[in-house]
Structure 1
Amino acid sequence: MTMVTALRRYPVKSMLGEALTEVAVTARGLHGDRTAAVVDATGAVGSAKHPRKWGRLLDCRAALGEPVTVGLPDGTALFVGDPELDARLSKLLGREVSVSDDPSRGGVLEREVPAYEGGLPEVLRSTARTDGTGATVTSGGVAAGTFFDYGAVHLVTTASLARLRAARPASDFDPLRFRPNLVVDAAGVPGFPEDAWVGARLRVGGALFRVTVPTPRCALPGLAQAGLPADPDVMRTVAREHRVPVGRLGRLSCVGVYLEVLEPGTVRLGDVVTVQPSP
């Protein structure tokens, strides 16, 4: 039986999030997910996909509330909208930043080009540049009207993580490294079962999703986060074991899939996941 074994949301983009037992899924994704983001004076949206610039965000933890609360590395908890939070984050990151809950402004997303194969679409290679941090980066935009990179919901299966763990037993392929919204146990299914779900519909509790594309990975899963040590072999293993076609972007290193919400509803731990062929 395929079922949900973990639910997570991340109220502030690229900060650690919170575990849930149930969540309302809206047309834009999990309620409260990526409702805010840290932005700087250049219009860049804080993303640990550029770790030299934004990696310290992974030392912070956000929880949904009225308003969202951010726990800082020193244990201080401050609300989004409090000028003191902006000041503390500016000191942490070494430049002036603020927390925005208005995704309508759009913003630039910067991604560090990884050293491993399959980490950068060939169509973007000519746009890469070296920025002030010394990193080679590419730039794009957030998904319209959101702080998401692309998909509204991200799913990872335990089977995929087990397959990677078997290929590299010395590394910890904890699902937290991949920042999924849904972790699904595809019992008894070997390999990367979600590859076969692209284009299909998934009924999960009261919500219905369509699987859109595999999820390309950046350097982020190999960073230190949530008590997990830095481990560049995590993504080297993904690049070696699982490079798959992603639309017109070519074969990329992927773990998990993105989902589009077709029918909002409530999802709970233990909900059965039913794969329905595309109509």
Structure 2
Amino acid sequence: MVNAASMVGSVVSLWRYPVKSMLGEELNASEVTEQGLWGDRAYALIDAETGKTVSAKSPRKWGKMFDCRANMPSPSQVKITLPDGTVLSSDAENVNQMLSNLFGREVRLETSAPPEHSIEMYTPDIDGLPDQDQVTDAVIRPHSFLMGQRCIC
């Protein structure tokens, strides 16, 4: 039994997000690695034009990310449900084309981070925040597409 004085919280639900910035899946259990939940942010979309990691932190450009849901049925595969209900598999030949069509620009589903990759971040127009109503770049730490060893954090 845990001493109530030493308890700092409890887990009510457990969620994993296999593709950065997409909706994820609720889990009953998960392995936890040094990088966090196994398989969390194991995949990401890369903007082919800029080479940057696609992120919902730039909602004007990538707002449709929240309309997609990802789940990881096996260690080597992610499934993405598009807004119209179409389910794409990461190992399908047309996955990049289908995602590019959805976003209106060329993207690639990747499991390894490009060297020195970054994301675009939008800062809302809220008093006291720096760079209000602007899109700026943020550097993501190296080697951060890790599943065990790959993760976009």
What TM-score bracket applies, with the shorter chain setting the length?
Answer: 0.7 to 0.9
Structure 2 unmatched runs, 5+: none
| TM score, norm. by length of structure 1 | 0.46
One-letter code aligned to 1:97: V
Kindly tell me: are residues 118 and 147 of structure 1, through their superposed partners in 2, closer, same or farther at Cα, counting changes over 3 Å?
farther
**Equivalent pairs: percent with the same residue?**
41
Tell me if structure 1 keeps the 8 A contact 2:53–2:119. yes
Measure the CA separation in 2 of the matches of 1:73 and 1:30: 26
Measure the CA separation in 1 of the matches of 2:96 and 2:111: 13
* 1:103-114 paired onto structure 2 within 5 Å: 103=113, 105-114=115-124
One-letter code aligned to 2:63: G
Aligned to 1:59: 67
Q: Which of the two has higher C-alpha Rg?
A: 1
Between Structure 1 and Structure 2, the one with more strand by share is: 1
Measure the CA separation in 2 of the matches of 1:20 and 1:119: 35
Structure 1 unmatched runs, 5+: 129-134, 155-279
Measure the CA separation in 2 of the matches of 1:119 and 1:24: 37
Q: Which runs of 4+ in 1 moved over 4 A?
A: none
Quote how far apart the aligned CAs of 1:94 are: 0.9
Quote how far apart the aligned CAs of 1:81 are: 3.6
Measure the CA separation in 1 of the matches of 2:129 and 2:16: 25
Aligned to 2:109: 99
Aligned CA-pair RMSD: 2.2
Aligned to 1:28: 35
Measure the CA separation in 2 of the matches of 1:37 and 1:24: 20
Aligned to 2:10: 3
Tell me if structure 1 keeps the 8 A contact 2:16–2:24. yes
Any idea what SS the aligned residue of 2:95 has? helix
Tell me if structure 2 keeps the 8 A contact 1:48–1:58. yes
1:138-182 CA-to-partner distances (Å, cap 9, x unmatched) read: 10121221149xxx8x9xxxxxxxxxxxxxxxxxxxxxxxxxxxx
Any idea what SS the aligned residue of 1:65 has? strand
Kindly tell me: are residues 9 and 118 of structure 1, through their superposed partners in 2, closer, same or farther at Cα, counting changes over 3 Å?
farther
Tell me if structure 2 keeps the 8 A contact 1:10–1:62. yes
Tell me if structure 1 keeps the 8 A contact 2:111–2:145. no
Measure the CA separation in 2 of the matches of 1:12 and 1:118: 31
One-letter code aligned to 1:90: S
| TM score, norm. by length of structure 2 | 0.81
Quote how far apart the aligned CAs of 1:104 are: 5.2
Picking from 60, 80, 89, the partner of 1:79 is 89
Quote how far apart the aligned CAs of 1:23 are: 1.0
Picking from 57, 78, 88, the partner of 2:98 is 88
Instruction: State the aligned residue count.
Output: 138
